[in-house]
Amino acid sequence: MKITISVIKADIGSIGGHIKPSESLLETVTDYISEYGKGFLKDFYISFTGDDIAILMTHTLGKGNEKIHKLAWEAFKAGTLVAKNQGLYGAGQDLLKDSFSGNIKGMGPAVAEIETEERPNEPFLFFAADKTEPGAYNLPLYLGFTDPMYCAGLLLSPDMTKGFKFTIMDVAHTKGDKIIHLNSPEDIYDIAALLRDNDRFVVESIYSRNSGEQAAAVSTTRLHNIAGKYTGKDDPVMLIRVQKNFPATGEILGPYSIGHLVGGFMRGSHTGPLMPVKLNSTISYFDGPPVVSCAAFCVHNGKLTEPVDAFDHPYWDFVRDKVSQKAYDIRRQGFSGPAMLPYSELEYGGIVEILKRLEKKFKVRK
Ligand code: F6R
Ligand code: MG
Ligand code: MG
C-alpha cells in the first residue's frame, strides 16, 4: 500500500513565554483534526515540543496535498482563536499569511513528508526540535547516514553498501528552492563542506541508493525569508524511516549524544547545545537549551502504533547531564564571541541600532 506520512508543525501560542502550548490549545487542534480529517486521514498523532504543536498524519493523498495542508492550516487557525482568548504569548505567530493558498509551505508552518510503498514492517522516527533551526539536523544526519564511526550498518549491512543520496537546500536563496544532489560515500567531503554551515545549507531529504526509497525528510522553512524579518527560530521537524535499507534506529539516535552546538536558545540569537529530551517536554533555562524529541512508530496500512519515546531511557539522562554542563559552560561567557550569533542570524535589530548610534561618535585618530 502506498502511504504518505506528513508532519506539519507551528507555534501558535504558548503559556508563560515560549514554554509550552496550553491544554485547551492542544485539545482544540486534536478535536479539529479528528473531526475534519474524517474520511481521508488514515491516522494522526498530535504532540508538542517546547512551544510548537506538531500534527503527524498518515493518508494516501501524496506529498504537498491541498486537502492535508488545508486541514492543518485550519486546525492551527482554530487553535489560534483559543490562544488569543487565553492571552497566550505569540498567539498565531507562525501563521504568516492571511489566507490559505493551496500549499502550507511558505506560509509559516514547517512541513516534512514522505510518500512510500509501505514495507511489511515499517518503522519510522518523528523528530521535533525547539529553539533552533533546520540545520540543527545536519550533523546528526551526516553522521547517521555516511559515517561508519556512528552507523555500523554501513560496514555490516549489505543493504546499505551503495550509500545514500542527499538533497541539500541553500536556504539563503529566497526566489524558489535552490537544491543540489550529492551522493555518499563518494561526495562526503562536498556534503561536509556544505553541512558545516547550518544556517545556510540544510538537508532536505535523503534517499537509499540501494532501493531508491526515501529515508528522510526535513522541514526547511526559514520564517525570516517568508516574513522578511526575524519572527522566531524555525524549530524544524523531521521524519526518518529506519532498518533494512536504512540505518537502524540506534544508529540515527547515536549522534544526539554529542549535544552539538546549534543556533537558537534565548531570543533565537545564541549558540547552545542540542539536548535530546522526552516527548512533550517544556523549555526553561535561558529559553532553552535547544531541544530535540523523537517519537518512534510503526505503521501498517496507514495505521500508527502508539509512539515510543526514543529519548526516554537512562542512557539519555546521562547525556542530558553532559549537555546541561555544556549549556552552563557556554552561557558563562554571556554575549561574548561565539556564545551569541553573528548579526545576520540575530532575531533582534537592537545591536544594529546601537552600532549605528555609536558609529557617529567614532573618530579616526589624526
Ligand atoms: C522559538 C522561540 C524563540 C523566540 C524568540 C523571540 O520557539 O520561541 O526563537 O521566537 O525568543 O521571542 P519574542 O517574540 O518573545 O521576542
Ligand atoms: Mg517560540
Ligand atoms: Mg518554538
Which pLDDT tens digit goes with each residue over 262-277?
A: 999 999 999 999 999 9
Catalytic residues: 11, 230, 233
* Nearest atom (ligand 1) to Cα of 232: 10
pLDDT at 346: 79
- Residue 240 backbone dihedrals phi, psi, to 5 degrees: -135, 120
Neighbours of 176 (CB within 10 A): 6
**Ligand lying closest to the C-alpha of residue 13:** 2
pLDDT at 231: 62
pLDDT at 255: 98
| Residues of the chain with confidence (pLDDT) below 70 | 223-224, 227-232
pLDDT at 366: 94
pLDDT at 152: 98
Residue ranges near ligand 2 (ion) with Cβ within 5 Å: 11, 18, 51, 232
Give, in order, the Cα–Cα distances in Å from 237 to each of 128, 219, 259, 352.
4, 6, 18, 31
Residue among 15, 283, 287, 341 to mutate when testing ligand 1 (max atoms within 8 A of CB): 287
pTM for this entry? 0.96
Closest CA to 171 of 120, 134, 118: 134
pLDDT at 349: 75
CA of 218 to the centre of ligand 1 (A): 21
Within 6 A (CB) of ligand 1 lie 11, 18, 50-51, 90, 130-131, 232-233, 235, 267-268, 287, 347
pLDDT at 227: 66
Which three cell numbers mark 107? Answer: 506560509
